[in-house]
Amino acid sequence: MLKQKLVREKGKIRLSHYFQEFKEGDRVTVVKELSIPSSFPTQLQGRSGVVRGKRGNFYVVTIKSNTKEKTYIIHSVHLRRLK
């Protein structure tokens, strides 16, 4: 996990990542955007899950943790679509 951005990318937010849209059922992975504060645990970095819905600008993502499924509310800046 990166603790800091590269020099040329410091302070920058890609607007295409900020305003990206996901549909219900899309598979996504959690990639923490360092310039925006996040409210999810750091253990989620790199994990993948399924989008279950939307709450305002945030997405409800279900991620399997060992045997249980857990639900997190994450902004689209911290999500990347899996192919």
**Residue-wise DSSP of the chain:** --SS--GGGTT---HHHHT----TT-EEEE---TTS---S-GGGTT-EEEEEEEETTEEEEEEEETTEEEEEEEEGGGEEE--
Of the pLDDT bands very low, low, confident and very high (cuts 50, 70, 90), residue 41 is confident
pLDDT recorded at residue 42: 85
Q: Whole-model pTM?
A: 0.84
Of the pLDDT bands very low, low, confident and very high (cuts 50, 70, 90), residue 1 is low
Each residue of 2-26: pLDDT tens digit?
677 888 888 778 888 889 999 999 9
CATH number corresponding to 13-81? 2.30.30.70
pLDDT recorded at residue 2: 64
